């Protein structure tokens, strides 16, 4: 079974913000309040999981969690509070969260938000209305859209639909399904008449999923443990033996006790002082 | 005790006093109130500070390895201070982490909910295990003190004695992993970290630079104890350490620059940008200059030379961590650490230093000096001490130590309370978005296609003015000056609503002796309601306490806004009788709605009425958003307001 996905066609969006209101009602988010850590009151925030970005020339682009197929935030979370469900949505378990905010650092789209104003803060982000969708419903934002600018369905079906729309109207769209392959692909995909580079930190996104980059270093850990440990033990043994041999050759009468490495005795000079 | 030590301790205790206040602020009011962190910059100064603390602790494993694994016994005198520093460095890391974590009481969760694909999991495990190893390595120093002269402790002591080599090897392995994994943390941010800092081998660079830094920290520590406790400097040994540092730093710089060259990003360092400058400063300070200087024997053997190199390396390598975590990390909002973030870091360091001093004074951390008086300043440093000690002292010498230090802490704490921001003292308020006044512009208008209404343009922007277009003066309404402006034909409204007599229909409430106060005089905030009632003024005008009952007429009721007389009941001249805006019954008295709510509330109701009652005159789209908000015309734009602070809500 293909995973669930959302296709947003920015050419159909009129910017009516009904999706925003539906999302707020669904997640019981309340009103937005101007805060120092928000650039604008209508940007994504802990009380706004989806928002409409206005672009010059009356273009409206709905921003939300992209629910990546191989998500950086999930690989970053050290306690597994963020989970990629088999159905596609990335869900958050606030009971496990420790508040390290590595997911916010890791997300290439800068999506997760934090409750900075609270003494007991949690991560806030879209969960594709996981509970609703599991019971056969649609995400609240999709259901609310009066223009069918954002639709919900299996990812491969929506990809075909996106390609069909581009083929039918090649003049209307940029020939690219945003989110098809970027950083391993996303579950929220876009077709658009304007470039959507501004939705990520860099205009050119590679195809490689980000978790692979950290795994390249992490997978070396067992080898490093054995390697460094082994080399250190070997060096210790070799040097100890060489010193012993040197002493024997010199016929020194140094006792083994003095040779023994220890941190227990006070350092040598003090020992000498005491002997004096 | 020498005067210098006493002054240092007084300052450290004062910092702890400050830390106490800020700690309360941090945990009672949250991260938003005390830091400049934001959704755009989730990690900030504390994170850089933690990474620097770990790097500064690298001396522990480097020296332990040199002494125990490589059998260089002559460095033994450095081992204990280095292990103690490492111990305190890691404890500093953990304590700073408690401040930085949103839910610090979940700090142990990685043990029960492990997620091995996270680099941060590796970091967490390494910190826990390495801190244990460090404590075990340092335990003998504590156990040998007379306080622990019991059979149980002697057994433990003996066991630890046999475990030294395994412990040191474990320490080296864990340090290698941990120093490098702090770099690996940023492998996942190729799109956010500047290419001069992002590298697939960033974890190797972190490890090597930490080794170089660790060696220099050992050097600085020797200086510090010489300065503070008057201990002898082992110049011969420090010179060897300096030589080793030079090699390590050259290796680091070579790898760093080589990696950039291989990835063809070396040119970025010379592109003249701000970050390129930071990069050059960092690489020269952290590696190239000290490594080159340390090649010279004269530098290595001189106190000044070694000291300068050590300070450069420490600032440079700590700067590397700081640049990766903060400066070169892409963010869409400015970030600058608040003084509270800096003070927390300084306060934790102060605690660590006091513990360090305590251990040095009470335990055999340093080898015993041949001289009889360890407290006496060394001859080389003694000559600075010509001032009488009292001039150094912030507090009189006659005070005993506990009183002096508690007094310093309390004074510092009370001073710092005065600097706490509003958000800490009285909780979070919505951010103010002050409203700017409307401006008058020259404009022109044109009939709208297929509608009986008009469209308005700014003459200066939309040139040339077409023939036949009527010129007129327009008001530019753009309260928060974000460019989404509404052009308002004031004169046409006056004409439609009935000339001079109609002012009061919109200007529903006026300042004393005024007939048309502008909207933003009361609706002062873009989103939040504004308190326009001046209680103090009323008290003074109404003969002080005599006047309470003038407004609070119900003697039995609690005296607050709800039970007071409404403003209009006295100020009949201020409130216009036939205005379209009627004071709402449940509105809080003396509160003006946010500017956006006020304008929408005033305009939309009248426009809706006009378009439903007289569509032949105004057209069917007279009440739509696009009628006034010109930049969104042509679409079915329905401006919802799920984000607005309620109009009757008190701020």
Q: Which of A13, A65, A263, A272 to mutate to test the interface with B (most CBs of B within 10 A)?
A: A263
Stretch 458-487 of chain B: residues touching chain A, C-beta under 8 Å:
482
B457 lies in the same domain as B367: no
Residue B137 lies in a domain: yes
B149 touches chain A (CB under 8 A): no
In this prediction, residue A119 carries a pLDDT of 92
Upper half-sphere CA count for residue B142 (Cβ side, 13 Å): 16
Judge: A240–B79 Cβ closer than 8 Å, yes or no: no
Our count of domains for chain A comes to: 2
Query: Mean pLDDT over residues A5-19, rounded?
Result: 90
Name the pLDDT band for B111 (thresholds 50, 70, 90): very high
If you average pLDDT over residues B2-22, what whole number do you get?
Answer: 90
The whole-angstrom separation of Cα B616 and Cα B622 is 11
Distance spanning both ends of chain B, measured CA to CA? 56
Give the three-class secondary structure for B491.
helix
B288 reaches A (C-beta below 8 A)? no
Q: Among B337, B361, B382, which residue terminates a domain?
A: B382
- With a cut of 70, say whether residue A127 has pLDDT above it: yes
Q: What is the mean pLDDT of residues B44-56?
A: 93
Q: Which of A105, A214, A264 sits opposite B43 (nearest CB)?
A: A105
Minimum CA–CA partner of B195 in chain A = A202
pLDDT surpasses 70 at B545: yes
**Residue B231 token pair:** 């201990």
- Do A83 and A202 lie in a common domain? yes
In a domain, B32, yes or no: yes
For residue A196, count other CB atoms closer than 10 A to its CB: 22
Across chain B, mean pLDDT equals 85
Q: pLDDT for B356-401, tens place per residue?
A: 989 888 887 777 654 444 444 444 444 444 444 444 455 566 667 7
Cβ neighbours of B77 in A, within 8 Å: 267-269
**Nearest beta carbon to residue B333 from set A39, A47, A116:** A39
Facing B119 at nearest CB: one of A116, A202, A214: A214
**B100 and B197 share a domain?**
yes
Q: The complex's ipTM?
A: 0.87
Selection from B320, B305, B197, B202 nearest residue B245 by Cα = B305
Q: What is the pLDDT of residue B638?
A: 42
Residue of A nearest to B160 (CA): A264
Mean pLDDT of B285-305: 91
pLDDT at res. B644 = 41
> In this predicted structure, which of B190-194, B203-207, B302-306 has the lowest mean pLDDT?
B302-306
Give the integer Cα–Cα distance in Å for B212 and B203: 15
In a domain, B109, yes or no: yes
Please answer yes or no on whether B42 and A105 come within 8 Å at the CB atom: yes
Confidence tier at A1 by pLDDT (50, 70, 90): low
Helix count and strand count (H, E) for chain B: 28, 6
To 5 degrees, how large is the angle CA B204–CA B280–CA B325? 55
User: Any CB–CB contact under 8 A between A106 and chain B?
Assistant: yes
Q: How confident is the model at residue B513 (pLDDT cuts 50, 70, 90)?
A: confident
pLDDT tens string B311-368: 999 999 999 999 999 999 998 889 999 999 999 999 999 999 999 989 888 887 777 6
Instruction: Return the residue of B nearest to A122 by Cα.
Output: B102
Would the pLDDT of A269 be above 70?
A: no
Angstrom distance (rounded) from CA B49 to CA B319: 10
Residues B177 and B315 grouped into a single domain? yes
State the pLDDT confidence band at B202, using cuts at 50, 70 and 90: very high
Residues A268 and A138 in one domain: no
Q: Which residue of B has its CA nearest to A39?
A: B333
More confident position, B416 or B427: B416
Please tell me whether residues B363 and B469 are part of one structural domain. Answer: no
Predicted confidence (pLDDT) at residue A226 exceeds the cutoff of 70: yes
pLDDT top residue among A259 and B159 = B159
- B10 in helix, strand or coil? helix
Ramachandran assignment for A215, one of left (phi > 0), alpha (psi -120 to 50 degrees), beta (any other):
alpha
Tokens of A27: 């997640």
Reduced DSSP (H G I as helix, E B as strand, rest coil) percent helix, strand, coil of chain A, to 5: 35, 15, 50
* Among candidate residues A170, A195, A218, the one where a domain is terminated: A218
Shared domain check, A173 and A241: no
Average pLDDT over residues B228-232: 77
Establish if B430 belongs to a structural domain.
no
- pLDDT of B236 reads 85
Distance CA B119, CA B209 (A): 19
Which tens digit of pLDDT belongs to each residue from A77-117? Answer: 999 999 999 999 999 999 999 999 999 999 999 999 999 99
Looking at the structure, do residues A166 and A256 belong to the same domain, yes or no?
no
B234 shares a domain with B122 = yes
User: Taking CB atoms and an 8 Å cutoff, what residues of chain A touch B181?
Assistant: 217
Q: Can you name the residues that pair with A91 across neighbouring β-strands?
A: A83
Chain A residues within 8 A of B122 when measuring between CB atoms: 218, 221
- With the C-alpha atoms ordered B523, B524, B529, B530, is the resulting torsion angle positive or negative? negative
Residue A40: what pLDDT? 78
Q: Do A8 and A73 fall into the same domain?
A: yes
Amino acid A272: pLDDT: 40
Q: A264 lies in which domain range?
A: 221-275
Tokens of B27: 């945990």
Domain annotation covers residue B293 = yes
Same domain membership, residue B267 and residue B184 = yes
Residues B106 and B30 in one domain: yes
Nearest chain B residue to A28, by CA: B642
Output the CA–CA distances (angstroms, integers) from residue B79 to A124, A260, B59, B207, B424, in the order listed.
Answer: 47, 15, 9, 20, 44
pLDDT at residue B391, rounded to an integer: 45
The answer to whether residues B16 and B350 touch, using CB atoms and an 8 Å cutoff, is: yes
> What pLDDT is recorded for position A210?
93
Q: Are residues A214 and A240 in the same domain?
A: no
Q: Are residues A151 and A259 in the same domain?
A: no
Task: Please provide the DSSP assignment of B83-149 as one string.
Answer: HHHHHHHHHHHHHHHHHH-SSGGGTTHHHHS--TT-HHHHHHHHHHHHHHHHHHHHHHHHHTSGGG-
Percent of chain A at pLDDT > 70 equals: 91
pLDDT tier for residue B527 given thresholds of 50, 70 and 90: confident
Q: Of B221 and A165, which is predicted with more confidence?
A: A165
CB contact under 8 A, B169 and A224: no
Cβ contact (<8 Å) for B176 and A20? no
Residue B570, chain A, CB below 8 Å: the answer is: no
Same-domain status, A90 and A165: yes
Question: By mean pLDDT, which of A10-19, A127-136, B205-214 is the weakest?
Answer: A10-19
Mean pLDDT of B50-56: 93
Q: Please report the number of interchain residue pairs, chain A to chain B, with beta-carbon separation below 8 angstroms.
A: 294
In a domain, B7, yes or no: yes
Tokens of residue B555, six digits: 């003697």
Residues on chain B touching A41 (C-beta within 8 angstroms): 433, 527, 643
Nearest by Cα to B451 from B647, B615, B230: B615
| pTM over 0.90, yes/no | no
Question: Which residues on chain A are in Cβ contact (under 8 Å) with B71?
Answer: 236, 239-240, 243, 261
Residue B407 lies in a domain: no
Q: At what angle do helices B339-362 and B76-100 cross, to 10 degrees?
A: 150
Residues 6+ apart with CB under 8 A from A189: A5, A6, A7, A8, A155, A158, A159, A162, A177, A178, A179, A180
Tell me: pLDDT of B127 over 50.
yes
Find the residue in A nearest to B639 (Cα): A16
pLDDT of residue A260: 46
Shared-domain flag, residues A109 and A226: no
| Residue B357 belongs to domain with CATH number | 1.20.1630.10
CB B579 within 8 A of CB B587: no
**pLDDT tens column, A168-221:** 999 999 999 999 999 999 999 999 999 998 999 988 888 999 999 999 999 999
Closest CB to A21: pick one of B42, B121, B642.
B642
Report the pLDDT averaged over residues A59-64.
92
**Domain span including residue B98:** 3-382
Q: d(Cα A273, Cα A255) in Å, to the nearest integer?
A: 19
Would you give the distance in Å from CA B194 to the centre of its chain?
Answer: 20
From chain B residues 360-389, the ones with a CB under 8 A of any chain A CB are 364, 366-368, 370
Cβ-defined contact of A206 to B190 (cutoff 8 Å):
yes
Q: Which residues of B touch A146 (CB under 8 A)?
A: 636
User: Which pairs count as long-range contacts for B19-24, CB under 8 Å and 24+ apart, including other chains?
Assistant: B19/B343, B19/B344, B19/B346, B19/B347, B19/B348, B19/B350, B19/B351, B20/B409, B20/B413, B21/B413, B21/B416, B21/B417, B21/B420, B22/B340, B22/B343, B22/B344, B22/B347, B22/B416, B23/B99, B23/B344, B23/B347
- Which residues in B lie closer than 8 A to residue A202 (C-beta atoms)? 191
**What pLDDT is attached to residue A275?**
38
Pairing of strands A4-9, A188-191: parallel
For residue B119, being part of any structural domain is answered with yes
Q: What is the DSSP letter of A255?
A: -
Q: Which long-range contacts (CB under 8 A, 24 or more apart) does B133-137 make?
A: B133/B167, B133/B170, B133/B171, B133/B174, B134/B60, B134/B83, B134/B86, B134/B87, B134/B90, B134/B171, B135/B87, B136/B160, B136/B163, B136/B167, B137/A263, B137/B60, B137/B64, B137/B83, B137/B87, B137/B164, B137/B167, B137/B168, B137/B171
Decide: residue B291, CB within 10 A, 0-12 exposed, 13-18 middle, 19+ buried.
buried
Question: Pick the residue with more confidence: B253 or B648?
Answer: B253
Q: pLDDT value at position B188?
A: 94
């Amino acid at each position: 079974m293909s995973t669930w996905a959302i296709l947003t066609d920015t050419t159909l969006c009129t910017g009516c913000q009904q999706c925003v209101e539906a999302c707020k009602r669904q997640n019981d988010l309340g009103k937005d309040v101007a805060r120092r850590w928000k650039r604008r009151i209508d940007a994504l925030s802990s009380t706004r999981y989806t928002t409409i970005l206005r672009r010059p020339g009356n273009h409206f682009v709905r921003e939300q969690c992209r629910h990546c197929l191989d998500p950086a935030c999930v690989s970053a979370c050290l306690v597994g509070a963020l989970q990629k469900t088999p159905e596609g949505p990335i869900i958050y378990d606030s009971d496990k969260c420790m508040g390290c905010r590595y997911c916010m650092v890791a997300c290439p789209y800068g999506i997760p938000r934090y409750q900075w104003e609270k003494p007991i803060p949690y991560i806030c982000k879209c969960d594709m209305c996981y509970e609703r969708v599991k019971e056969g419903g649609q995400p609240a934002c999709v259901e609310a859209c009066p223009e069918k600018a954002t639709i919900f369905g299996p990812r491969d079906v929506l990809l075909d639909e996106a390609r069909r729309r581009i083929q039918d109207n090649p003049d209307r769209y940029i020939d690219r399904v945003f989110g098809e392959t970027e950083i391993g692909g996303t579950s929220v995909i876009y077709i658009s008449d304007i470039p959507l580079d501004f939705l990520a930190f860099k205009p050119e996104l590679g195809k490689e999923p980000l978790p692979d980059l950290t795994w390249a270093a992490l997978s070396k850990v067992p080898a490093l443990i054995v390697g460094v440990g082994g080399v250190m033990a070997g060096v210790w043994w070799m040097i100890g033996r060489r010193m012993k041999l040197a002493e024997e050759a010199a016929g020194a009468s140094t006792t083994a006790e003095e040779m023994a490495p220890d941190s227990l005795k006070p350092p040598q000079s003090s020992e000498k002082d005491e002997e004096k | 005790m020498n005067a210098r030590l006493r002054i240092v301790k007084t300052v450290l205790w004062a910092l702890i006093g400050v830390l106490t206040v800020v700690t309360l602020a941090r945990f009672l009011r949250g991260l938003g109130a005390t830091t400049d962190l934001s959704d755009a910059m989730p990690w900030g100064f504390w994170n850089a500070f933690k990474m620097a603390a770990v790097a500064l602790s690298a001396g522990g494993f480097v020296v332990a390895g040199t002494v125990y694994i490589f059998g260089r016994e002559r460095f033994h005198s450095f081992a204990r201070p280095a292990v103690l520093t490492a111990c305190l460095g890691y404890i500093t890391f953990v304590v700073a982490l408690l401040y930085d974590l949103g839910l610090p009481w979940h700090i142990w969760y990685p043990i029960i909910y492990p997620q091995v694909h996270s680099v941060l999991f590796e970091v967490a495990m390494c910190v826990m295990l390495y801190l244990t190893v460090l404590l075990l390595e340092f335990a003998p120093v504590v156990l040998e003190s007379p306080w622990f002269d019991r059979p149980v402790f002697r057994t433990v002591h003996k066991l630890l004695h046999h475990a030294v080599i395994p412990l040191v090897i474990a320490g080296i392995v864990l340090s290698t992993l941990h120093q490098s994994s702090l770099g690996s943390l940023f492998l996942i941010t190729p799109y956010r970290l500047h290419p001069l800092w992002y590298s697939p081998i960033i974890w190797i660079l972190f490890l090597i630079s930490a080794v170089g830094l660790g060696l220099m920290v050992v050097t600085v520590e020797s200086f510090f104890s010489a300065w503070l406790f008057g201990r002898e400097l082992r110049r011969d040994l420090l010179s060897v350490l300096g030589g080793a540092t030079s090699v390590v730093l050259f290796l680091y710089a070579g790898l760093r620059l080589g990696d950039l060259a291989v990835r063809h990003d070396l040119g970025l360092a010379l592109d003249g940008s701000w970050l390129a400058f930071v990069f050059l400063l960092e690489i020269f300070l952290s590696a190239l200059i000290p490594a080159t200087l340390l090649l010279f024997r004269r530098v290595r053997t001189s106190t000044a030379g070694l000291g300068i190199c050590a300070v450069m390396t420490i600032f440079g390598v700590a700067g590397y961590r700081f640049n990766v975590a903060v400066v070169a990390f892409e963010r869409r909002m400015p970030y600058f650490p608040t003084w509270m973030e800096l003070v927390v870091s300084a306060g934790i360091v102060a605690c660590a230093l006091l513990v360090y001093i305590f251990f040095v004074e009470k335990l055999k951390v340093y080898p015993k000096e041949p001289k009889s008086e360890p407290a006496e300043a060394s001859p080389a440093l003694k000559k600075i001490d010509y001032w009488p000690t009292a001039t150094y002292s912030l507090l009189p010498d006659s005070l005993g130590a506990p009183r002096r230090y508690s007094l310093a802490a309390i004074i510092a704490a009370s001073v710092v309370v005065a600097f706490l921001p509003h958000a800490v003292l009285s909780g979070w308020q919505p951010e103010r978005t002050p409203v700017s006044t409307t401006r008058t512009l020259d404009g022109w208008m044109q009939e709208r296609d297929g509608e009986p209404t008009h469209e308005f343009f700014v003459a200066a922007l939309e040139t040339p003015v077409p023939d036949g277009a009527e010129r007129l003066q327009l008001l530019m309404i753009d309260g928060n000056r974000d460019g989404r402006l509404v052009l308002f034909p004031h004169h046409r409204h006056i004409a439609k609503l009935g000339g001079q007599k109609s002012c009061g229909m919109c200007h529903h409430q006026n300042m004393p002796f005024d007939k048309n106060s502008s909207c933003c005089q009361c609706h002062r905030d873009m989103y939040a309601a504004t308190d326009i009632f001046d209680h103090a003024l009323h008290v003074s005008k109404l003969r002080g306490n005599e006047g309470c009952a003038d407004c609070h007429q119900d003697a039995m009721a609690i005296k607050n806004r709800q039970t007071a007389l409404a403003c209009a009941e006295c100020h009949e001249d201020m409130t216009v009788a036939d205005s379209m805006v009627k004071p709402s019954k449940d509105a809080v008295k003396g509160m003006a709605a946010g500017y956006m709510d006020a304008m929408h509330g005033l305009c939309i109701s009248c426009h809706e009425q006009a378009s439903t009652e007289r569509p032949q005159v105004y057209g069917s789209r007279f009440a739509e958003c696009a009628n006034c908000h010109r930049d969104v015309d042509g679409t079915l734009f329905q401006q919802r307001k799920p984000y607005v602070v309620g109009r009757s809500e008190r701020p």
